[in-house]
Amino acid sequence: MELNTILQVLLFGVVWGGLYTLIATGLNVIYGVMKILNIAHGELLMLGAYLTFWLFTLWEVSPLLSMPLAALTMFALGIIIQKLLIEPLMARTKSLAAFENATLIIFFGVMLILQNVAMLLWSADYRVLSYLNDPVSIGGLSVAANRLVVVAVALAVSAVMYAGLQFTLVGKAIRAVSQDRDTAQLMGINVKQIGLLGFGIGAALAGIAGSLASTIYVITPTVGLLFTIKAFTVMVIGGLGSQMGTLAAGLALGILESGASYIIGPEFKDVTGYILLIGFILWKSRTSAAFRGEIK
């Protein structure tokens, strides 16, 4: 391949990688604080994408302007889900393992409900938002302006999240609860409020990701599941609670998929991510088993 082609593939990979990083950051915050694997996380992204699409289609509101509204709407929805579903469940379950198992079932139901509500409201037709599609030339590379917006906003929001978690009192409280819930409570942190805030922030990030995804990807009621799997892959490979690991894993996944799409074919783009996840889990299990063997 020529150098320009390689750089073009890398650029496209960085665009998708930035989006994956943003989605995974939201899922990581929710899991870290609440120990909930929100398999309906992608459906929040899907709702944010539809909100952005209809605001643009009906009233020509720029996705950059509707993005804060999508974030606030998903934040509010996250708070409602936490209040109506998670807190009552937490009060009734006696162990963390039972709580985690129950939340998987609950969010599977939430996923199906949101998918079917979206299908009833907007049908299963593909929706495409035409926004900033004109190509921009960067050092001999050509890329649509909307992709540059996606990677810039995604990386900027991820950087703000990193700074917030590292240097603010609320961020430190979220990290404390994520690391040791019981000790954090003994130190005077209101674990319930932090859990509520953490879920809301994770949902808000999904809404922002939905606004960005709507400008470069087709919107359907079932599109969320694909992005949930991407976020889960990035979270597993990058490491729970590691923002830099999430960034590295997100960019790596985006570049890998972009390269596979060019070399093998677009139909293999998503398959490479699944192979990466399975391979990483198998490698991790083998190294863990070997480590336990050395200890013995």
For residue 17, pLDDT over 90 is answered with yes
Q: Is the pLDDT of residue 8 over 70?
A: yes
Residue 200 belongs to domain spanning: 3-295
> Which two tokens mark 97?
């393992």
The tokens describing 57, both together, are: 């289609």
Higher local confidence (pLDDT), 25 or 134:
25
Assess whether pLDDT exceeds 80 at residue 285. Answer: no
Domain count, the chain: 1
Q: CA 64 to CA 82: how far, in whole Å? A: 28
- pLDDT of 203-251, one tens digit each? 999 999 999 999 999 999 999 999 999 999 999 898 877 888 899 999 9
pLDDT of 286 > 80? The answer is no
Place 61 in a pLDDT band, splitting at 50, 70 and 90.
Answer: very high
The pLDDT value recorded for residue 295 is 45
* From 49-58, 223-232, 258-267, the region with the lowest mean pLDDT: 258-267
Rounded Cα gap, residues 86 and 199, in angstroms? 10
Question: Coil, strand, or helix at residue 201?
Answer: helix
Question: Does residue 73 or residue 91 have the better pLDDT?
Answer: 73
Looking at the predicted structure, is the pLDDT value of residue 45 above 60? yes
Does residue 65 carry a pLDDT above 60?
yes
Provide the pLDDT for residue 226: 92
Query: Which domain CATH number covers 191?
Result: 1.10.3470
Which residue in the block uniquely carries the two structure tokens 């209101």?
190
The pLDDT of residue 201 is above 70: yes
Which of these, 54, 207, 218, 244, lies nearest to 125 by C-alpha position? Answer: 218
pLDDT, position 160? 93
The answer on pLDDT for 277 being more than 90 is no
Give the model's pLDDT for residue 54: 96
Which pair of structure tokens corresponds to residue 91?
Answer: 């009060």
Report for 39-48, 124-133, 142-151: range of highest mean pLDDT: 39-48
Q: Which residue has the higher pLDDT, 295 or 247?
A: 247
Residues 6 or more apart whose CB falls under 8 angstroms from that of 196 comprise: 79, 82, 83, 87
Q: Tell me the C-alpha distance between 99 and 102, whole Å.
A: 5
What average pLDDT does the segment 285-296 reach? 58
Tokens linked to 74 = 């998903």
The pLDDT of residue 244 is 87
- Cα gap 106→84, rounded to integer Å: 11
Which parts of 143-187 fold into alpha helices (H)?
A: 145-167, 169-179, 181-186
| Tokens linked to 43 | 């459906």
Question: Alpha-carbon distance 201 to 16, whole Å?
Answer: 21
Of residues 216, 235, 223, the one with CA closest to residue 276: 235
